[in-house]
Chain A
Amino acid sequence: GESVGLHLPTLSVQEGDNSIINCAYSNSASDYFIWYKQESGKGPQFIIDIRSNMDKRQGQRVTVLLNKTVKHLSLQIAATQPGDSAVYFCAETSYDTGNQFYFGTGTSLTVIP
């Protein structure tokens, strides 16, 4: 099976600081990636996605960076707010795995007011 992992299981940041959450993947053929946010007891919420033909994509206060050379994905959250406290997952998919998504175990982000 695929291996999608996160470097840190927990992350604490001060309100207003920037947060960086990392994700490693093992399938060099992965061509589509998504970051999800999951609050306790709720379903995952789409944050941002990126395709393998891009290195960077920006959304509102979030940026995803993709480094295909080292098979690494990161999510940057600018000016982190208390409402950003949640678990963040990365997910990846590729045609050669039947387009099935594989999910990381998640990083728990805590924002300190």
Chain B
Amino acid sequence: DGGITQSPKYLFRKEGQNVTLSCEQNLNHDAMYWYRQDPGQGLRLIYYSQIVNDFQKGDIAEGYSVSREKKESFPLTVTSAQKNPTAFYLCASSARIGGYEQYFGPGTRLTVT
């Protein structure tokens, strides 16, 4: 059963702590993405990766970091430098970058207090 998994579904952290969100895909896709969703706003791109060991900043990369050591995995770390980390985080993948359908995971809701 192919798809994208994100874990955990809900995550709670204290301010000042780093936290890592997991994203795994078994679709054999080259490209993976991290988006942030806030109420009343469209999805905003945090980071994306076109291929293993390569990733690029999106529009709102400050306070976040990623790695792409394996094709199927693209974890996102929300660092203490991110001023407003509470949000719904969505991971996506596509066969290639650009005009290809993006498949989304179920999301992780992060709450930082």
Contact = CB atoms under 8 A, between A and B. Distances in A.
Interface in A68-108: 89, 91, 93, 95, 99-106
Nearest to B6: A43
A90 B66 CA distance: 26
Given A100-B45, A103-B42, A41 B107 contact: yes
Interface residues of B, number: 24
B113 interface: no
A32 B98 contact: yes
A66 interface: no
B2 interface: no
A100 B42 CA distance: 14
Interface string B73-113: 00000000000000000100000011101111111010000
B42 A95 contact: no
Interface of B: 4, 6, 35, 40-45, 48, 58-59, 90, 97-99, 101-107, 109
